[in-house]
A and B are shown apart, each in its own frame.
Chain A
Amino acid sequence: MGWGLKEIKASAITQAVAKLCQEANFTLGEDVLSALKQALQTEQSPLGREFLNQIIENTRIAKAEKLPLCQDCGTAVVFLEIGQDVHITGGDLEVAVEEGVRRGYYQGHLRKGIVSQPFSERVNTRDNTPAVIHAEIVPGDRLKITVLPKGGGAENVSRLAMLLPNEGKQGIIELVTKTVEEAGGDSCPPLIIGLGIGGTAEKVMLMAKKALLRKVGEPNPDPEVARLEKEVLIRVNRLGVGPMGFGGSTTALAVHAEVSPTHITSLPVAVNLQCHSARHKEVTL
């Protein structure tokens, strides 16, 4: 082990972010695609199958023609895992990321969908900035960048609830099913459900968001949490909401739960819904 720091140029970060924004918007992950194809086999509603066929065909066209999968190219949510032995040179990290988003959305002909001052003026910033950046310091000398373009339809039906501890598992299941049922077709099901449990109000929502980055259907390593994920998935699929809300047996493709210790008085639960266009790409520098 040396004492040296690994240098990463700010310009390399900009380039990487620009590329990830485009890749994520044009190409759906293989894990999502195979979950959709699996759903096509099990979906009971003919209309639901028709819609699943359309979205599978959509991924083919988007990739071939370099068109965005969805016209809502999302808020650019950027996760940075910064090794503690990394030294960023030639510019500020945040500026480098924002510049990457600006270039990626411009070069890729992606829709710019961010407005300034959310409650009155709502003027489009015209370059999809600012991004939402979540940075954490981790061991090592690498920088991992993940871009998750998050569409508005599903994000708008997110929920945070500070449950009473005695509401327990049942309370969690009820919150998720209620959230999904009320969202109906607005959230563009079949969904991937990010579920955060524990921590504090702000931490739990970030856990729910991060859960969306997991490979679709991969269970939580803790068997008890994995059982809860499965139970929630079954309950959600019994709602009958179905693909696009047209009715059917596939309302969600997966439930990903992340759990964290919490205060003796608390049971924070966050639900972050991801539409079927579950776009995210990552790179490690």
Chain B
Amino acid sequence: MTIYITSPISARVIRELTVGDSVLISGIIYTARDAAHQRIIQALENKEELPFELKGQTIYYMGPSPAPPGKVIGAAGPTTSRRMDAYTPRLLAAGVKAFIGKGGRSDEVRKALRKYKAVYLAAAGGAGALLASAIKEAEVIAYDDLGPEAVMRLVVDNFPAVVANDIYGKDLFELGKKEYKGSKQDLEDYPPP
């Protein structure tokens, strides 16, 4: 089943999302990778101005390729989320409600997602061109000097992702692996070792 959701995602919608749900996201999301996370955390510690109001927002772990002439953005798929794990609990405490990336999260992040009632959505890693077609507007709003790692405000339309961690503590990577462990394929004419 596919669920159409609007970002920023409301608390009511977040409650309805469960692991394995396919979602199509429309609305506003913000990009941030490692370097931008460091600066945002620093700004939070020093009570300095933030690139955007964090409360309720969705952060996408993504640094695009340059936009070719006539295009809104270049390839724009997710990067590995694990690199942002160290920063995530702090951002959750500051009110961020959803993250989009690829790959699994640490136990600390999973606990924090549950505590702050936020979700982690996994998008198709390596589908940069496909995901770019769901991005309708893109504007660098902070940390321009970071190049592809600058913070961007994106307007997306039916951006595809899967709920990987819900507010109930479940984890797609863990459950998926368990379900298909030991699975066999047609090519399996070779005797088991």
Contacts and interface: CB of A to CB of B under 8 A. Distances in A.
Interface in A221-268: 227, 230-231, 233-235, 237-242, 244-250
Contacts of B66: 109-111
Nearest to B188: A234
Contacts of B74: 67-68, 71, 109, 111
B126 A277 contact: yes
Contacts of B177: 184, 239-242, 245, 247
Q: Is the interface of B mostly helix, strand, loop or mixed?
A: loop
Contacts of B124: 51, 54-55, 58, 244
Interface stretch (A12-20, A42-50, A76-84, A135-143): A42-50
Contact of B103 (A61, A184, A233): A184
A224 to B, nearest CB: 13
Contact of B65 (A68, A124, A227): A68
Interface string B79-105: 110100000000000000000001110
A185 B190 contact: no
Nearest to B192: A234
A234 B102 CA distance: 25
Interface size class of A (residues with CB under 8 A): 35 or more
A73 B80 CA distance: 15
Most buried by A among B67, B75, B179: B75
Interface of B: 20, 22, 62-68, 71, 74-77, 79-80, 82, 102-104, 122, 124-130, 132-133, 147-148, 160, 162, 164, 172-173, 175-188, 190, 192-193
26 contacts: A42-B186, A44-B183, A50-B22, A54-B130, A61-B133, A62-B128, A62-B129, A67-B128, A68-B129, A69-B75, A70-B125, A72-B128, A184-B177, A234-B188, A238-B183, A238-B184, A239-B181, A240-B183, A244-B122, A245-B104, A245-B173, A246-B172, A247-B179, A248-B183, A249-B185, A275-B126
